[in-house]
Amino acid sequence: MADARALQARLDQQRHAFAAEPFPSAATRRERLARLASMTRHHRDEISQAIRQDFGHRAEAETRLAEVVPLLMAIRHTRRHLKRWMAPRRAAVPWRLLPGKARIHRQPLGVVGIIAPANYPWSLALMPAVDALAAGNRVMIKPSEQTPTTSALLARLVERYFAPEELHVATGDADTARDFAALPFDHLLFTGSPRVGREVARAAAANLTPVTLELGGKAPAIVAEDADLAHAARRIAFGKWLNAGRTCIAPDHVLVDAARLPAFIEAIRAVVKEFYPQGTASDDYSAVPGDASRSRLEHLLDEARDHGCRVIELGERLTLSHGTKLPPTLVVDPTANLAIMQEEVFGPWLPVIGVRDFDAALARVAEGPRPLALYAFTDDPTRRRRLLEQTRSGGMVFNDTLWHYVVPALPFGGIGESGMGAYQGETGFLRFTHQRSVFLQARRNAVGLLDPPWRRWWLRLLGL
């Protein structure tokens, strides 16, 4: 466990190393990314076992699908395009400054800090590190204290594959996280809840450290009148109950026209039975770790029941030694004032709300907080255009859920309540890069004509 002095010492070490190598070559950066890929690929069984222990239960296939594969895809994409991303960009020069030349020099920031969450403890710690290392930075990671086994494994493996001045993992409790956020990084990325995100932003502000915040939110799924209900139910069920709903871009609630609501519920029932034939006892269904998370979710459901909501549990509760398997559960037509509609569910409860029509669903989304993701099931080009033009969200997905996150070329980030800034692909490279303006004036030039004393007729002639 690192204290404030140890964290500062590590930051100083990385700053010293960065000063000695302020612009790593493309070959050096690619080699660091290759080590990151090797570390993940060669130890994926250990990663799955560590996460399973922290969660109480999680299927190995789910860990590979959600933690390992996206990271390896991102590294492969980044290594392939890195040289082009690093190249200086030419910039147009006004005719009055010719024959001067201008370009944009892409320069590493220095040392980047990453505070990772517990729900995807491997990928959400290392996906931002891919972009930061590609940009030529040194990186420090504070993994979640809620996944101690995975965090310890990450620290151990990083120490084996990287020098501490390249990449370092600082394990510790919530106090360590607060000390970490208060360090004067050149950039700080945080993934987690809006409440903690505000605390991180305040700590970073004391050092004028720029921040990227990935905060989740209530991602709506709109099922339009022309949607195929069976297809919509299948894709929503996949996105919702992957990792037992503990995904920041999971569908948080569904808006479907009221006349089709009963049919949609039956379609969800059928899909859940197909996905998890043994119910919560299925090996492919994950547990919710920790008493605090379970208690919060139980409170949301109890309040909905107390206010007369119809609650449909699609399985049995299963208590494990380190977690609880809470069943997929539908909450039908909860009112807007209930806690389940005020805060991100972040669990296996799925509010299903009947609305008048697509226009009503669109208006509801447009008037609400801006989510990290918005899902819509429709083949109508006009409806798609209206969603793109009249709503705001971090990402927009049609006729599916979640998969935009694993497209390496797409930026991933929130807006408003769901965060600020984005990373992944070239967007992530630029997030951790300073785009330095460079102007080169020729020895023989005409800019002296702009020197004082200024004559009015001359300024008019130059169009000034």
C-alpha angle with apex 83: 140 to 114, nearest 5 degrees? 15
Q: CB neighbours of 266 closer than 8 A, spacing ≥ 6?
A: none
Q: Which residues of 185-198 are buried (b: 16+ CB within 10 A; e: fewer)?
A: bbbbbbbbbbebbe
Angstrom distance (rounded) from CA 32 to CA 21 = 14
Selecting among 166, 248, 344, 426, the annotated active-site residue is 248
Q: How far is CA 309 from the centre of its chain?
A: 32
Amino acid at residue number 352: V
Q: What is the DSSP string of 138-156?
A: EEEEE--TT-HHHHHHHHH
Angstrom distance (rounded) from CA 102 to CA 89 = 9
Strand-pair category, 412-413 with 422-423: antiparallel
In this structure, what DSSP letter does residue 22 have?
Answer: S
Q: How many CA atoms lie within 13 A of 431 on its CB side?
A: 28
Annotated active-site residue 214? The verdict is: yes
Q: What is the DSSP string of 174-202?
A: HHHHHHHHTS--SEEEEES-HHHHHHHHH
Backbone angles phi, psi at 135, to 5 degrees: -75, -5
User: Bridge partners of 167?
Assistant: 139
Total Cβ atoms within 10 A of residue 442: 12
Selecting among 67, 166, 214, 344, the annotated active-site residue is 214
| Segments of 338-393 assigned E as strands | 349-355, 373-377
Angstrom distance (rounded) from CA 101 to CA 96 = 12
| Segments of 290-328 assigned E as strands | 310-313, 318-319, 323-325
For residue 433, the surrounding DSSP H or E stretch is strand 433-440
For residue 49, the surrounding DSSP H or E stretch is helix 44-55
Q: Please list the helix, strand and coil fractions of the chain in percent, rounded to the nearest 5, in that order.
A: 50, 20, 35
| Termini Cα distance of the chain | 62
Residues known to be catalytic: 214, 248
